Amino acid sequence: EYYRVFFVSGAGFQLQALGHKVQATGAAELTMEINASFVPPKYAKYLVVVAGRAAGEMHALLNGIAPHVELKDFALPDSGPSYASWGGDRDLREGWVSGELTVGRAENEHAITSYNVYWSTGLGGVRGPLVGKIPGIGRLAPSCAGKSGGLLGQSRTADGGWSFARRPYGGSEQATIAVSGPGRLEFDAFDTERYYDALIVDGHRVSG
């Protein structure tokens, strides 16, 4: 006679219902309108749809026959692209545009799925049609941690990369540099006390 949606925890426990019952109409698909934001109950991780009638209602179980979807809370990214550069129009025909748009990725892409590129008149920031999307890759700007992390010199290079340096270093120092790829690692100088001090890159130990 009707369908109902419940919140379910990651451990599989049924929580409170979401919205009102949706009456069965015989249609192949039904829509439940959610016209306002809501705060999900604590521990909610899934939405489970159950069927019911006057005599009873199905249990909202993850391992049962009731369909379920993972509950995902999308939010605005913490940061946006660092820059955008247009290389110029390569198509000289009137009304046609061709070229290369370079986008600087955000320092942290943990909340970014894509960079969306739109046409714009430039007047008041009015957004026009979507031109295309550049997927996020989960980039994370290099960071330095450890008891000696604050002693490393850190700077940007002319080509947009990062540079780390510590020379000379003292006794019992330790630092960890974390960075996401893909990328290229280059050394312009390397000097450690052989066998005692080392640089470890992705599990590979270098000393001397």
Over residues 113-143, the pLDDT tens digits come to 899 999 987 777 788 899 999 999 888 878 8
C-beta neighbour count of 29 within 10 angstroms: 5
Read off the DSSP letter of residue 194. Answer: T
Over residues 163-175, the pLDDT tens digits come to 888 878 888 888 8
| DSSP track, 20-52 | EEEE--S-S-------S---PPTTEEEEEEEEE
Cis check for the bond before 168: say yes or no (omega within 30 of 0): yes
Would you place residue 180 in the very low, low, confident or very high pLDDT band (cuts 50, 70, 90)?
A: confident
- What percent of the chain is modeled with pLDDT above 90? 36
- Mean pLDDT (the chain) is 87
Work out the average pLDDT over 22-29: 92
Q: Give the lowest-confidence range in 17-31, 120-134, 181-195.
A: 181-195
- What pLDDT is stored for residue 185 in this prediction? 81
- What pLDDT is stored for residue 4 in this prediction? 93
In this predicted structure, the answer to whether residue 44 has a pLDDT above a threshold of 90 is: yes
C-alpha angle with apex 105: 91 to 122, nearest 5 degrees? 50
C-alpha angle with apex 12: 8 to 17, nearest 5 degrees? 20
Over residues 59-95, the pLDDT tens digits come to 898 887 889 999 887 778 888 898 999 999 999 999 9
- What pLDDT is stored for residue 25 in this prediction? 92
- What pLDDT is stored for residue 91 in this prediction? 94
